[in-house]
A and B are shown apart, each in its own frame.
Chain A
Amino acid sequence: MLELTDIINALVLLSNFVLIPALSYGSQLAMGALGITLVYGVLRFSNFAHGDLMAFGTMLTILLTWWLQSIGISLGAFPTALLALPFAILGAIALSLIFDKSVYQFYRNQKSSPVIFVIVSTGVMFMMNAIVRLIIGPNDQRFFDGTKFIIHPREFKDFTGLSEGLAIKSTQLLTVVITLVTVIALFWFLQKTRTGKSMRAYSDNEDLALLSGINPNKVIWITWIIVAALATTAGTLYGLDKSFKPFTYFMLLLPMFASAILGGIGNPIGAVVGGYVIAFSEVLVTYAYKKFLIYLLPEFMEPRGLAQFLSTDYKFAVSFIILVVVLLIRPTGIFKGKTIR
């Protein structure tokens, strides 16, 4: 006989291990994918250095956080990293603009093919990667402080009397809220302001935009500024939520590209939706449903194994398989992005 408490327990379990983690991971992916999609839309190339730009920005946040902590400044319940973030963004913007001026601009003027840009961006990736490793080293760094839990699993159990605990980490809530604010601000900027409109116009048709007197250099600068800000914020939130390791950030490139392409590359709404779809698929497919099913199914139907579709080690495979399926079935993504020839 199915009891109500069992159903509630099952739902709490699912929220705790699937819904909430996927929501925060999805937000981080969405912000990362937005950066990739903006570079693709405006600058017209796949930026392989994006993961390492994220790592660079996060590294600055960490160093500033440590410095702030050492002189005794903190935000109380909030992580100190939030105070360091704006300054780290400035640093990431500076680095992006330096690389644009010294590297990408030349190929833009030459009207090089996208492949050349990809190769060049891997060169930039090497250098950014090296800078990060030189300064902060290749190891795991934690920089979280402040209140850890908004809802503590034990308190939740005591309060509700359920056997399953629900944990909401403050970083998870922060991630979702900051993403929401950032995405709304970005869309308002792109849709309503003059500069945002000029960016979209430039992305749609470069020649027409130039004819209408849009200054391409300004558009490119603004794009890098937004991209660096998004990357640093996404990286910092990911680092707060999990931990910071340069190699992990490099590996995030794949799910972020998958998100951008799934949503329709060059399309900001698509990047956000894509981020959440990829995150939810990764978590849903690699979650072991054994306990969940035990709550819901009568005893004789209970699963013997873990009831897991794929082992957690295949997370990358999930985002990648989605990527391939999208490229094969609907190459423009869910929302029409740039056409792929």
Chain B
Amino acid sequence: MKNLLNENIRAPLAFAMMALLLLFVGVSQSWSVALSIFNLCLISAIMSLGVNIQWGYAGLLNLGVMGFTALGGVAAVLISQAPVAEAWTAGGQNILISLALAIVTIVICLQVKRRVTNIWFRRSALGITLIIGYLAINHFYAPGVKAIEAVEPATKGFLGGFGLPIILSWAVGGMLAAAIALVVGKITLGLRADYLAIATLGISEIIIAVLKNEDWLTRGVKNVAGLVRPVPYELDLQRSAWFSDGVRWIYSTKLDKLSEIGQEKLLHDLVIQNSSIFVKLCYSGLFTSVLLILLILSIKALNSPWGRMMRAIRDNEEAANAMGKNIVKQHLQVFILGSAVVGIAGAMLVTLDGQFTPASYQPLRFTFLIWLMVIIGGSGNNLGAVFGGFFIWFMWVELEPLSIFLMNLITANMDGVSVIKTHLINSAPHLRLFMMGLVLLLTMRFMPKGFIPEKTRLHSIS
């Protein structure tokens, strides 16, 4: 039993347990369900890696994960959707002009801030620039938006994107998130840790508010559906000869036992079943390769001199500062890197869903749940973060049927039509929130380093 708690074998143990859990779901529920969970586990693991880079390496409390996830989603829409030519002619010019004006305003403000030394003169100059800038931008922006949103509002009403393969958006999502993280970091880093948390929480809410309301960009709450997949569609697979031949070959022993008509029928069902599994497997392959690449890079980075410096800054800022490390600069760097990883995961998520729905971004699901993954998995340890992503996502999905089952068990002896019984059963899904909170508190108390803790390296001078 003591061996089980040995930190060296915890990681293989954890992943073996995870594999068993998924296999169990595959056997008891269905392989399709197991693969769906597995795919989202992979994405969760990538998000968790991103948060771990910020929190585990550098101790930055970023509660804006949701915002960066959504930015990745924006990238997926903008890359894969075909451009809407009518909308561009209707209002594209106005949008571009207002964008240019916004940049000009910001540049002027920055110049004023740098050049003008008199504080009151500077403040009034800034105020005037901002007001004039706002009025000028609005003059072009408002009619432009109106014109764009009037173009086939039921299906389009936005500028569209570049019409490129959606897989490119994974990289672009990372870059977009990184660019926004640069701006956010410039503003908020250097604040005390818990202020940074509040500030980033607010920024993520603003990002979502913008995405919900700026219909010209991503159609707002009207959503963008039917994003083109990077993997084959089920219907195409079912129609293609090579796929049914493959299915026939795999199940040949089972099929040979049947009569000809029985074979046809079973094969038909099998092809439909397996086409959906095949699509999910394709996603799994893509996601696994992204996860592995990011994981290897993260482990390499953590063990490099850069990683050592990050840990030194995290553990003792003053000492690191005294050794000549620029803390604000390093924090900014790690903030951008972590956000980029989250952005990549966000783009992958929208790719998997095939649609972008801004209203689905909830802080509990996309910020706090990811935090739970990092803390329970083991902050500072990349394998731990990946495990946390797998485990917590699995629990999040499977706790719902489990709590309904539990509630049914609890209420089994109650009167069949009792109001309390139906209420308890209906509210069972909320039980998982409670359990998640409990798990977080218990972990923080009794296993503050997480399930797979960070390795403390002790180098003795020999």
Contact = CB atoms under 8 A, between A and B. Distances in A.
B237 interface: no
Given A115-B59, A316-B209, A327-B195, A126 B437 contact: yes
B430 A127 contact: no
Given A133-B433, A134-B430, A120 B441 contact: yes
Interface string B290-305: 0000000000000000
A254 B201 contact: yes
A317 B191 contact: no
A115 B199 contact: no
B438 A323 contact: no
B436 interface: yes
A305 B142 contact: yes
A305 B445 CA distance: 56
A130 interface: yes
Given A115-B59, A313-B213, A120 B444 contact: yes
B194 A123 contact: no
A126 B440 contact: yes
B242 interface: no
Given A46-B198, A324-B187, A130 B434 contact: yes
Given A130-B437, A254-B201, A119 B195 contact: no
Nearest to B445: A106
B188 interface: yes
A147 interface: no
B386 interface: no
B191 A257 contact: no
Given A115-B61, A116-B444, A118-B193, A126 B433 contact: yes
A46 B187 contact: no
A257 B430 CA distance: 26
A103 interface: yes
Contacts of B438: 123, 127
A320 B203 contact: yes
Interface in B40-99: 59, 61
14 contacts: A122-B371, A123-B438, A123-B441, A127-B438, A129-B433, A135-B427, A137-B426, A317-B205, A320-B203, A320-B206, A324-B187, A331-B191, A340-B191, A340-B195
Interface of A: 45-46, 48, 103, 106, 113-120, 122-127, 129-131, 133-135, 137-138, 250-251, 253-254, 257-258, 261, 305, 311, 313-314, 316-317, 319-320, 323-324, 327-328, 331, 340-341
Interface of B: 59, 61, 142, 187-188, 191-195, 197-199, 201-203, 205-206, 209, 212-213, 363-364, 368, 371, 375, 423, 426-427, 430-434, 436-438, 440-441, 444-445
3 pairs of A and B residues whose beta carbons are closest in the complex: A126-B437, A130-B434, A127-B437
